[in-house]
Amino acid sequence: MKSSTILVIDFEFTMPEGKYRPQNFFPEIIEAGVVKAANHQVIDTFSSYVKPKKFPKLTRRCKTFLNITQEQVDQGITFATLIEKLKALDSKQDSVIITWGNTDMRVLKQNCIFNHISFPFKGEMRDLSMEYKNFFGDKTLTNLWKAAEEYGDSGMGKQHKALDDAMTTYKLFQLVERDKQYLGKPKPTTIGDRIDLSKVFPQAT
C-alpha cells in the first residue's frame, strides 16, 4: 500500500419512488460515514447527514429503505461543507480511499460536477467488493453485510447507516488484507524438505 493512512467511505443517496426516475434525476448524497485509520488503528471517524440540492424532498421509498427522516436530512450539512470535511480528513491528499463497490465515488464525482466543486481526493482508490470477489473467486459481487457473514462475522451496527457500513467495510478490509498476507507467504519448509531421507533410511535390497 502506498500510504499508511486509509479513508474508508460510505455514502447513502436519494432514490426515486419507483423504477421510473423523474426527468433529470440523479442520486445525491444524503448521509456520509468515514473511518480514518493508520497503522491498523482507527484514528478518526466522521458521520453526518447532507442536504440534497436538486431533489430536496425525500421519497417515501428512500425514507423507508434507509430508515431516515426528512427532518434529519433538512438539518444536515451542505454538500460544500461535506467536501471541506473530506479534504480535512485527507489533508496530505495521499490517503488510500476504500469503498465497498464503485458507486460511492461515482456519485461523489457526479455531485461535485453538479455543485461546481473539485473532486476532493487524489490518492489511490480501491473497490474492496471487487477485491473480495477476485480473492475468493466469486462470479458476482457480494453484498457488504453478506460478505461479513461469509467471514463468520456480523456487520457493525445497522445496515444502510453510513458510518456503520464504513466500519463494517474497514473490518472486512482488515480481514482480507490479513488473509492475503497469509496466503502470500510461502509454506514453511518441512524436515523432509531439508533432509534427504533416502540417505538416512537406505532402501532394502
pLDDT tens string 56-91: 999 999 999 999 999 999 999 999 999 999 999 999
The C-alpha cell that represents 107 in the structure block: 456519485
Task: Let me know if residue 82 belongs to a domain.
Answer: yes
Q: What integer pLDDT is reported at residue 184 of this predicted model?
A: 59
Supply the pLDDT for residue 191: 44
pLDDT of residue 68: 96
- Whether residue 205 is predicted with pLDDT greater than 60 in this model: the reply is no
Tell me, yes or no, whether 191 lies in a domain: no
Residue 187: inside a domain, yes or no? no
Active-site residues: which are they? 12, 160
Q: In the chain, what is the greatest distance between 2 CA atoms, to the nearest angstrom?
A: 90
**pTM across the whole model:** 0.83
Burial of 142 (0-12, 13-18, 19+ CB in 10 A): middle
- CATH at 80: 3.30.420.10
- Asked whether residue 205 is domain-assigned, the answer is no
In a domain, 158, yes or no: no
Q: How many domains does the chain have?
A: 1
